[in-house]
């Protein structure tokens, strides 16, 4: 019992000691000042990524704080557990953007910022006198990042743009689900998260472009949530234009790729098997002990397997159902077939690979005197990796004095 206890603790103790005694390395975005005016998910997620990799992020919160502070499961202080990771590494100031004092403060902070992020309805920042042209007059090097449902131009630009709707307009909901029932959504705000990633790409490109001596200026980065989703549709557009084919939803399979599906073991645990390469398929049949003369052996190309998908999936499903999922996975691993369980977050947090790859970071919540695990952020850099320096602030505006001093010298 004690040996198992210390074995579970030693990796974390080693990492903590290594951080304590290692030379502090600057993040790749060290020195980049980011003014985050966004709320909820898309804009703030972009700021979170930039802050994780070293940027100095100042989060401008409305009076009462960002609504995410009170979303989903809350701790004893009434603060969302999600908030601690979502707002990590961000100093908080509280500003009323409708007031003249608030607008003036944002203008002064913009004057010394490298990047501004906002995800208000298109036109709102202009109404406040804080649009790109307004701030360009103050700081022509400012990279002005805008995230909205449908972008800053076009007939839909003024529409409300929540991720749930934009995932539908962007085509994702059409291909997600089963053919015999309505479209489904994953229990995540994928559109917002992907749009945040697209914003980070745009910001990094604009930062690089700004280093060009011939330019040396900032620019507007215009991110639309529906376009972020649309960019993930693979060959759907070309397939429709070239062949008139509309890719439909296909349940747990992937159209035109066989076998790649979900199969249930005798213990009711589901596993994914992806044996859609010719050699992989052959090895899978060997693992299944399929006879040489069996018709399954004749499906030696993806095109043949697509034409016979029902027969192939039934054979694999019947084979998987004979034993617990863990036994099947052991056989597939021995045969070098890509496969795995469908993980819940509970599975992830006890998985040795997740732990070895340091996918859980621990932050300390001072007012509760408790530790909390939050997810690490990819990618891993070998020389100057990202890190969580502190969790999301407990109170809106608690860094106001420090920000005014550090950024404005006041």
Active site residues: 192
In angstroms, the CA 98 to CA 124 distance is: 11
Structural tokens at position 173: 């909901």
Residue among 144, 91, 36, 89 at smallest CA distance from 405: 91
Cα–Cα dist 227/230, whole Å: 5
- The answer to whether the CB of 60 falls within 8 A of the CB of 99 is no
- Rounded to whole angstroms, the Cα distance separating 402 from 96 reads 19
Alpha helical stretches, state H, 22-170 = 42-52, 81-86, 100-110, 124-127, 132-136, 163-169
Respond yes or no on whether the N-terminal peptide bond of residue 62 is cis (omega within 30° of 0): no
293 CB-contact burial (10 Å; exposed 0-12 / middle 13-18 / buried 19+):
exposed
Residue 380, SS3 per DSSP: coil
Distance in angstroms (rounded) separating the CA atoms of residues 185 and 140 = 41
Burial category of 386 from C-beta neighbours within 10 Å (exposed 0-12, middle 13-18, buried 19 and up): buried
For 374, the 3-state DSSP assignment is strand
H-only helix segments in 244-377: 278-287, 302-307, 309-320, 325-334, 345-349, 352-356
Residue ranges in 53-189 assigned as alpha helix (H): 81-86, 100-110, 124-127, 132-136, 163-169, 172-175
Helices (H), 53-162: 81-86, 100-110, 124-127, 132-136
């Amino acid at each position: 019992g004690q040996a198992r206890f210390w074995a579970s603790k030693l990796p974390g103790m080693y990492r903590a000691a290594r951080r304590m005694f290692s030379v502090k390395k600057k993040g790749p975005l060290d020195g980049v000042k980011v003014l985050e005016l966004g709320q909820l998910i898309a804009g703030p997620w972009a700021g979170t990524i930039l802050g994780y990799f070293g940027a100095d992020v100042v989060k401008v919160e409305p009076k009462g704080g960002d609504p995410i502070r009170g979303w989903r499961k809350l701790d004893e202080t009434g603060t969302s557990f999600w908030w601690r990771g979502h707002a990590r590494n961000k100093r908080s100031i509280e500003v009323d953007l409708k007031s003249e004092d608030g607008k003036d403060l944002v203008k002064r902070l913009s004057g010394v910022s490298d990047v501004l992020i906002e995800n208000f309805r298109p036109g709102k920042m202009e109404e406040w006198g804080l649009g790109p042209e307004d701030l360009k007059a103050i700081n022509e090097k400012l990279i002005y990042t805008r995230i909205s449902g449908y972008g800053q131009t076009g007939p839909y630009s003024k529409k409300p743009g929540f991720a749930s709707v934009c995932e539908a307009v962007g085509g994702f909901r059409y291909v997600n689900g089963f053919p015999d029932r309505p479209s489904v959504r994953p229990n995540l705000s994928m559109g917002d998260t992907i749009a945040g990633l697209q914003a980070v790409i745009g910001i990094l490109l604009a930062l690089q472009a700004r280093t060009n001596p011939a330019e040396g200026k900032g620019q507007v980065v215009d991110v639309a949530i529906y376009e972020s989703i649309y960019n993930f549709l693979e060959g759907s557009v070309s397939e429709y234009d070239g062949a008139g084919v509309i890719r439909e939803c296909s349940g747990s399979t992937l159209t035109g790729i066989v076998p790649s599906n979900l199969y249930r073991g005798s213990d009711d645990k589901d596993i994914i098997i992806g044996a859609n390469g010719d050699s992989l398929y052959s090895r899978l049949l060997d693992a299944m002990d399929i006879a040489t003369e069996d018709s399954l052996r004749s499906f030696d190309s993806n095109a043949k397997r697509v034409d016979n998908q029902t027969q192939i999936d039934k054979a694999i499903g019947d084979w998987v159902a004979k034993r617990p999922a863990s036994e099947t996975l052991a056989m597939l691993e021995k045969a070098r077939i890509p496969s795995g369980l469908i993980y819940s977050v509970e599975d992830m947090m006890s998985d040795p690979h997740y732990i070895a790859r340091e996918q859980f970071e621990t932050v300390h919540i001072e007012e509760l005197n408790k530790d909390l695990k939050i997810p690490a952020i990819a990618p891993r850099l070998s020389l100057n990796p990202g890190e969580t320096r502190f969790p999301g602030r407990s109170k809106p505006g608690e860094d106001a004095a420090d920000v005014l001093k550090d950024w404005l010298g006041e």
